[in-house]
Chains A and B, each alone.
Chain A
Amino acid sequence: MGALGGCLFLIVALAVFAAIWAIWRYNNLVSLKYQVANAWKQIDVQLKRRHDLIPNLIASVKGEMQFEQDTLQKVIQARNTAVAARGVADTAEKENALTQTLSRLFALAENYPTLKANESVRGLMEELSSTENKIGFARQFYNDIATRFNTAQQIFPDSLIAQTFKFQPVELYEIKDEAEREVPKVDLSVRP
């Protein structure tokens, strides 16, 4: 075995090493991609749940809140547009609008003691606010995973693999609405 044989051996060893590395990183990206899909499904499940709950809630408060027809109508409308939403950004926007109208309805319902005393309405309200929380946490989890997926595609040398196999960055579920994004301001300055 001469110098040529040694060289050949070295090249083959390097090639094998590179191939193993590429497979490892590729699998990592694929696994992240499925995690993102799964996290999105979690959001979707909760959104569907909310869509199903709203008609029940409207039906049970309609009698008591007949002077709030306008608000009720807005909730139903927002729900129907949200059901038709497609894609991450579109869904985020329309679901946000629905969240707003719902919180307005909840605030108004505070004025109706008979509603709050009603067992089934109370149950529905707890169910809806829990679903709202679940949407929030599912969104948080989705955004974390999606950010990890997007970062993994950008980092060198993994970016070589991502480009070769045409991985695309995914959209984050963002809150566009200014009111929800606003941080509550606390004024700590002491004034005379």
Chain B
Amino acid sequence: MINLYEQQKRNLNRTALFLAGFVLFLALLGLGADAFLYGSGGSPGFPVCTLGALLFGGLSAWWSVRGGDQAVLQSASARPVDRSNPKERVFDDVVEEMAIASGNPKPAVYVIPDPDPNAFATGSGPRKASIAATAGLLEALNREELQGVVGHEMSHVRNYDIRVMTVVAALAGAVLLLSDWGRRALWWGGGRRSDRDRGGGSGAAAAIFFVVWLVSIILAPIVTQIIALAISRQREYLADASGAELTRNPLALASALEKIDAAVEPTRAIKQGIAHLCIADPRGRAVNDRESGWANLFATHPPIAKRIALLREMGYRVATS
């Protein structure tokens, strides 16, 4: 069992690693496009596409860390908590309690007007974070269960999960967009290239590079998606465990997850793009129920039954130790 400080450091390192990986990938996409331009004779003399792709990726990552949380909250039509409503007041208090338990400043608190129970955290780190819950969640859970859920979200904040997820989402988006443009460029320029550039001097090496580029452009959307989802699933188990460390009450989170699971309706206010941020998959799919093979590869969350089982085991150990 690694402790939380190592966990935080790992997350920060991992963010750097992912940034590097995505930057390389973007550079590859750009380089391929440049080689393509050069081959077809339309090159302006410097790697314009490579620089463009890197700039685009960098800007979108920077922009997402700076203002991504507001975009996410807006897309879920979240509004600031209203303390005159008793339920929301309890929620606001619980967030402050968990912030104290984790030794962090209190995040901004938002409510999403949606009857399906769900919650998520977003932001760029403990100093700039927001926690949002649906009205349905506040309605369905008692105070202890709510504390479990908020503890889970608070540990996403504390472990810098929210930053990892924000950056990964932004870069995955950039890769998606650029590979899409690449494919379109191929579609339009493909004919011209084939009749002019057959007997090119650099031959085999260029051809291999071209094939690699082609394959990566085609696979880019799927690969980035799978990587982003894998990171997301890993985070959920960790947040369950360290959230329980905050509340010292894993059973409350287990029973909260049971209630969330029982509400099979999809959370309509939460769009596909931010599914990986939520405590349970807002799409309300059957994928939540099993962990195997292909279904698992495309799920944003581990199966709820398995999370509940792990939490109950944790609760048993707390009770007997």
Chain A residues proximal to chain B, CB less than 8 Å: 39, 42, 46, 122-123, 126-127, 130, 133-134, 137-138, 140-141, 145, 186
- Contact of A137 with B100 in the complex, beta carbons under 8 Å: yes
Interface SS majority for chain A: helix
Q: Which residues of A contact B98 (CB under 8 A)?
A: 137
Q: Complex formed: what's the CA distance from A186 to B93 in Å?
A: 31
Question: B90, A126: Cβ atoms under 8 Å?
Answer: yes
Measured CB to CB, the nearest residue on chain A to B84 is A123
Chain A residues with Cβ below 8 Å from B248 are 140
The tally of CB-CB contacts under 8 A between chains A and B is 38
Interface size of B as a range: 10 to 19
CB closest chain-B residue, reference A184:
B319
- Main SS class of interface, B: helix
B196 located at the interface, meaning its Cβ lies under 8 Å from any Cβ of chain A in the complex: no
Docked pose: A138 CA to B98 CA in angstroms? 9
Nearest Cβ distance between residue A27 and chain B, in whole angstroms? 16
CB distance from A43 to the nearest CB of B (A): 9
> In the complex the two chains form, is A42's CB within 8 Å of B86's CB?
no
B90 and A141 form a contact (CB under 8 A): no
Q: Interface of B with A (CB < 8 Å)?
A: 86, 89-90, 93-94, 96-98, 100-103, 147, 246, 248, 319
Q: Are the C-beta atoms of A126 and B93 separated by less than 8 Å?
A: yes
Question: Judging by beta carbons under 8 Å apart, are B103 and A126 in contact?
Answer: no
User: Bound complex: CA of A126 vs CA of B94, how far in Å?
Assistant: 11
- Are B103 and A141 within 8 A (Cβ)? yes
Min CB distance, B151 to chain A, in Å? 10
Known: A126-B89, A133-B97, A140-B248. A186 touches B319 (CB 8 A): yes
Query: Contact at A138–B100, with CB atoms within 8 Å?
Result: yes
CB-defined contacts of A42 to chain B, threshold 8 Å: 100, 103
- Set of chain A residues within 8 Å of B89, measured between Cβ atoms: 123, 126
